[in-house]
Amino acid sequence: MQPSTLSILLIISISFTIITSAAAYKPEIIKSDAASLSLGSTDYGNIVHDIPLGVAYPSTEKDVVELIRASHASGEPFAVAARGRGHSVRGQAMAGGGVVVDMTSLGKGKGKERIRIDLEGMYADVGGEQLWVDVLKEATAVGVAPVSWTDYVYLSVGGTLSNAGISGQAFMHGPQISNVVELDVVTGKGEFMTCSRTRNPELFFGVLGGLGQFGIITRARIVLDKAPTRVKWAKLLYSDFTTFTRDQEHLISNNASNYVEGFIVTNENAASDWTSSSPSRKAEVAALLKKQGVLYYIELVKYYDNNTAATIDQEFDTLLKELKYMSGYNATTDASFVEFIDESGDIDNGTPPLPSHPWLNLFIPKSTIVEFNAGVLAGMLPKLNDTSGIFIFYPFNRNKWDDRMTAVVPDEEVFYTLAALHTTPQDGYKSMDEFNNEILEFCKSKGLKVKQYLPNIKSKKEWMDHFGTKWEIVEKRKAMFDPKNILSPGQRIFN
């Protein structure tokens, strides 16, 4: 539930007393009014509401440095969590009893100053608080673009880089963290450090996919390439799981396409791309769903521009002929590159009561996907009888991930992600949590070595199991860069 009026008043009465105990800090940028505390204790998931002592609104990186130095120097350090767009789903960007840093304040009134495109070096220097959609607009305006995206681009650069940042381009270019060449970071000691693969590499590799544990990203230098102008975009329906995954793996092995994602169809509404214009197709899909409970589809995109416009149709048709989707179930469109990347638009939750989003995101080794499909995709998802979820399932090439980074993935050449993106009424998320736990228990009972992405992990032992052989490195980096456990307590790794 939202923080009560009484709890907010109590927080207001004590917050400045505790925070200003660090004399070096500027208390004037911390706010403890009701609106600020509501902001700091709310995220997209709308499940966890952990009330901070206050919310900091920095105007410069120096403000962030001084805040963390004040905590680090204090006899009783207070927790600090960076908040970008607040799109976490389990309170990961919260700091109960501490300070939430509203990173968007760094960019207010500065606009393009915090996004600088270098066409000679083919990179963008971007403030950690900036949204990917704004990077998209600024870069494509001069004919370039980042090569790796997230499906939803109204997220902060620092936020996605603290996790990994994945979408259908990652099979070719790797996740977003694989396409960063330099960072500015404020560590848990309040040190402002520039880092790269060769300069302060321990911090660089630690922060990328580091869940905010080692530092706050205030600037990222992101790789750019020539931007396409348009895309050919197809949705291909499958009734057989093996054919569906074989085609996806074929597509990610030959680089003939630019984007590949798979989806799970558990109801007729999710099949509307193929059934809305044909009663016979609607009947066929309904019969298949009744028989086997689930269908699958691949979303496939190929980029082009004016130089390749004359040949794109032939190239795309040749690509589709290599695939074994259900005959006639091919929905193809043409769109601008910007329209495709910004497909979802900005999510507007409307007015209260807001929904909850008890998401589950997993990485699954290729060697276990048949068993995973039987138990989870075909065995459990159809039982939800719910149209308020999106289920995404697609593969990655592990060689596009840098194992020196903190992000954890299965140890197989190819692995898949399941994104179970549930939406429920706020008071209905517990039943979906139970469902998610059933999936995790199934994986555990069958010995499927899945890894959580955007993890929701509650105990130290579970975190040690999650990181596996990287746990000692994570502990070492924490001791180096945040020895007093100040940063990102909402992840519940060291706090």
Question: Residue 487 has what DSSP assignment?
Answer: B
Cβ density class 306-323: b for 16+ within 10 Å, e for less:
eeeeeebeeebeebbeeb
Q: Give the C-alpha separation, 93 to 103, whole Å.
A: 11
SS3 label, residue 23: coil
Q: Give the C-alpha separation, 490 to 141, whole Å.
A: 37
Task: Check if 87 is active-site.
Answer: yes
Q: Give the C-alpha separation, 217 to 37, whole Å.
A: 23
- Selecting among 87, 173, 357, 422, the annotated active-site residue is 87
Q: Are 183 and 217 in contact (CB under 8 A)?
A: yes
CA distances from 246 to 73, 249, 370 (A): 56, 5, 11
Q: Give the C-alpha separation, 47 to 1, whole Å.
A: 8
Which CB contacts under 8 angstroms, 24+ apart, belong to 111-120?
Answer: 112/138, 117/142, 117/144, 117/224, 119/144
Taking every pair of C-alpha atoms in the chain, what is the biggest distance, in angstroms? 73
Centre a 10 Å sphere on the Cβ of residue 328 and count the other Cβ atoms it contains: 11
Task: Check if 151 is active-site.
Answer: yes
User: How far, rounded to the nearest angstrom, does the alpha carbon of residue 406 sit from its chain's CA centroid?
Assistant: 15
- Selecting among 43, 61, 129, 261, the annotated active-site residue is 261
Centre a 10 Å sphere on the Cβ of residue 442 and count the other Cβ atoms it contains: 17
Q: Is 403 exposed, middle or buried (0-12, 13-18, 19+ CB in 10 A)?
A: middle
Specify the residue for token string 């997220």. 155
SS3 label, residue 415: strand
CA distances from 97 to 11, 429, 484 (A): 9, 25, 15
Q: Give the C-alpha separation, 441 to 194, whole Å.
A: 42
CA-based nearest residue to 377, from 416, 423, 329, 328: 416
Task: Check if 305 is active-site.
Answer: no
**367: which residues sit within 8 A by CB, 6+ positions away?**
412
Q: Give the C-alpha separation, 264 to 297, whole Å.
A: 7
Residue 168 main-chain phi, psi, to 5 deg: -70, -5
* Active site residues per annotation: 87, 151, 261
